[in-house]
A and B are shown apart, each in its own frame.
Chain A
């Protein structure tokens, strides 16, 4: 845990030990160590993925055998189901609000803590705590009460309870995510401390002020970590469930304003028993997350700077 390095594209599987024992024996040992993982990866990951792809072309209610319906689930989803599109818009809105706010706050706090001599460890731990607590049902219930009619936010701002207003309820959910900025903040802070002090000294000698140093040294050196946080938080945000569930008392309301994608998937699959339809939804989610990740990786070539590039 102590040795850390900025990720590089050359960080690959290292070559292994010199040969001593017979090759077949060592290979056999490796598969013994791997066997739980291999079993899990095939039976609990690959097989379910294939099965859910098949189910997405069927009508299946868990009790009767699946009926092949071709593309009907997908057609229905995209052309006949306004709640589906509503959940897509809600989820994208949530991602676009929560992720940039959370990362911006994480970066600002990390920069503030970076140069601190006393109290850094304390603040770092204290700001990190909500990342562990925030995923709990307890905190989600607090959120619902604080943002409800007569709750703290209503009393302070006089806006009424956010959880009962279609235009505001999603913001309450997003703020619960922003509250958990500690995890990316800790990663930013570790990344900032990896930046060699010589770079700042050299920049200062060249007459660069604080802002110039930030733009020319901090931002490029931190960009791999920023990219890592962006990908990770975006993927997680697309799958948000518990806060939306608790803040809306399990209903996704008011007026479906907090019915995020996974809640609608849960509703279709496990409440309405349309497992085929829910499988189709899961595959669309998988593909969308895959595409978004690929796009982030593609654009990253133009703004993420890997320090080791110069060595090659």
Chain B
């Protein structure tokens, strides 16, 4: 750009226009969230047929009703169930995916090329192709209506996306440290736990956060595997509101929605750098 004093002004105006456009887009984007927060505090008669985003007064009782839970199951129970599943999934993915990733990134074994290609292909595999037989297997094992079908697969590195993410990260690490460790007599296991794993921390954090958020939001798997209301997660409990069309339940329903979203919002605010960078790098190393 050969900018002179003359061409300086339009550039600045252009920049201002971009900022204004972005701000306007942001307002539209954030509207559903503002709506959710406002509605969770509205009295029942203002939810529908009122153009006013803001409630006439703050109806905190929506939250106390929501805290009572659904189907006589308290919200603490629902929250605990959601946390248990998400926590188990995080642990499973971080352990199993980093183990597999280390083998693919650093170790030599027969069939490595084909197995790596197969692992990549399973990223593309639609979940529904294996859903029904998986369900039948867990049904035969008597594990339907337990948390095993939701947690166990994560300990078997079935989410290949994360294996791939960690492989890519490990490939970027310098080999010198591992070679030094090997000369000092470290086998692959000590080398993995003491040298590679600490260096892989950013990728493991990204894996953990994405796993947590995706498991927390998951609906389909929980829908088919969990039946008892006291085993329900927050997502499934919210679903019982879906059928209820009466507007009187709207306030508590959206209060509960806010509670269900809160962990994700907090995770996002705390770890946004990892999330954005993780997403960016996933797309660039094909």
Physical interaction between A and B: yes
Interface residues of A in 38-81 (CB under 8 A from B): 39-41, 43-45, 47-49, 51-52, 55, 62
Stretch binding the partner chain, chosen from B56-64, B71-79, B83-91, B116-124: B116-124
Contacts of B134 in A (CB 8 A): 44, 48
Contacts of A196 in B (CB 8 A): none
B241 within 8 A of A: yes
Contacts A43-B156, A138-B238 given; indicate if A194 touches B284 (C-beta within 8 A). Answer: yes
Report the bound CA distance from A12 to B120 in whole Å.
12
Partner of B284 from A4, A55, A128 at Cβ < 8 Å: A4
Partner of B26 from A4, A36, A127 at Cβ < 8 Å: A127
A171 within 8 A of B: no
Closest Cβ of chain A to B224, distance in Å, is 5
Contacts A36-B156, A137-B239, A282-B132 given; indicate if A11 touches B118 (C-beta within 8 A). Answer: no
B113 within 8 A of A: yes
Interface centre among B110, B128, B188, B279 (most CB of A within 10 A): B128
Contacts A48-B133, A136-B235 given; indicate if A33 touches B192 (C-beta within 8 A). Answer: yes
Interface residues of B in 1-60 (CB under 8 A from A): 1-2, 15, 18-19, 21-22, 25-26, 29-33, 35-36, 39, 47-49, 51
Contacts of A286 in B (CB 8 A): 125-126, 128-129
Main secondary structure on B side of the interface with A: helix
Q: Are A128 and B128 in contact (CB under 8 A)?
A: no
Contacts of A126 in B (CB 8 A): 26, 29-30
A174 within 8 A of B: no
Report the bound CA distance from A81 to B253 in whole Å.
37
Q: Are A278 and B188 in contact (CB under 8 A)?
A: no
Report the bound CA distance from A191 to B283 in whole Å.
8
Q: Are B22 and A112 in contact (CB under 8 A)?
A: yes
Report the bound CA distance from A127 to B24 in whole Å.
12
Interface residues of B in 126-176 (CB under 8 A from A): 126-137, 139, 153, 155-158, 163, 169, 171-172, 175
Q: Are A289 and B136 in contact (CB under 8 A)?
A: no
Q: Are B25 and A142 in contact (CB under 8 A)?
A: no
Q: Are B187 and A179 in contact (CB under 8 A)?
A: no
A27 within 8 A of B: yes
Contacts of A62 in B (CB 8 A): 136, 139
Give a binary string over B264-284; 1 marks a CB under 8 Å from any A CB, 0 the rest: 110010001011111111111
Give a binary string over A98-112; 1 marks a CB under 8 Å from any B CB, 0 the rest: 000000000001001
Closest Cβ of chain A to B262, distance in Å, is 10
Report the bound CA distance from A52 to B134 in whole Å.
9
Closest Cβ of chain B to A187, distance in Å, is 3
Partner of B130 from A16, A44, A124 at Cβ < 8 Å: A44
Q: Smallest CB-CB separation from A176: which chain B residue?
A: B32
Partner of A228 from B47, B128, B286 at Cβ < 8 Å: B286
Interface residues of B in 68-119 (CB under 8 A from A): 95-96, 99-100, 102-104, 106-110, 112-113, 115-116, 118-119
Q: Are A7 and B203 in contact (CB under 8 A)?
A: no
Contacts of A27 in B (CB 8 A): 108-110
Q: Are B18 and A116 in contact (CB under 8 A)?
A: yes
Q: Smallest CB-CB separation from A191: which chain B residue?
A: B284
Interface residues of B in 175-212 (CB under 8 A from A): 175, 178-179, 182, 187-189, 192, 202-203, 206
Partner of B182 from A20, A31, A32, A187 at Cβ < 8 Å: A20
User: Interface extent on B, as a size class?
Assistant: 35 or more
Report the bound CA distance from A289 to B220 in whole Å.
20
Report the bound CA distance from A224 to B122 in whole Å.
21
Q: Are A187 and B158 in contact (CB under 8 A)?
A: no
Q: Are A250 and B242 in contact (CB under 8 A)?
A: yes
Report the bound CA distance from A262 to B221 in whole Å.
12
Q: Smallest CB-CB separation from B188: which chain A residue?
A: A29
Closest Cβ of chain B to A102, distance in Å, is 13
Contacts A6-B284, A270-B224 given; indicate if A34 touches B122 (C-beta within 8 A). Answer: no
Q: Are B119 and A37 in contact (CB under 8 A)?
A: yes
Q: Are A36 and B36 in contact (CB under 8 A)?
A: no
Q: Smallest CB-CB separation from A130: which chain B residue?
A: B29
Interface residues of A in 1-28 (CB under 8 A from B): 1-7, 11-14, 16-17, 20-21, 26-27
Interface residues of B in 211-265 (CB under 8 A from A): 213-214, 216-217, 219-220, 223-224, 235, 238-239, 241-243, 245, 250, 253-254, 257-258, 260-261, 264-265
Q: Are A133 and B33 in contact (CB under 8 A)?
A: yes
Contacts of B21 in A (CB 8 A): 112
Q: Smallest CB-CB separation from A111: which chain B residue?
A: B18
Report the bound CA distance from A126 to B33 in whole Å.
12
Report the bound CA distance from A278 to B122 in whole Å.
21
Report the bound CA distance from A239 to B221 in whole Å.
13
Q: Are B243 and A249 in contact (CB under 8 A)?
A: yes
Partner of B136 from A3, A51, A262 at Cβ < 8 Å: A51
Q: Are A33 and B35 in contact (CB under 8 A)?
A: no
Q: Are A141 and B241 in contact (CB under 8 A)?
A: yes
Chosen A-B contacts, 23 in total, with CB atoms closer than 8 Å, are A1-B203, A21-B187, A30-B109, A31-B103, A33-B100, A51-B133, A62-B136, A62-B139, A109-B22, A116-B18, A130-B29, A131-B279, A133-B265, A136-B235, A137-B238, A141-B257, A142-B32, A190-B280, A191-B284, A250-B242, A250-B243, A275-B132, A286-B125
The 5 closest A-B pairs by CB, nearest first: A40-B156, A7-B286, A187-B283, A138-B257, A48-B133
Q: Can you add 4 more A-B contacts, CB < 8 Å, to A115-B18, A250-B239?
A: A17-B182, A40-B153, A55-B132, A138-B260
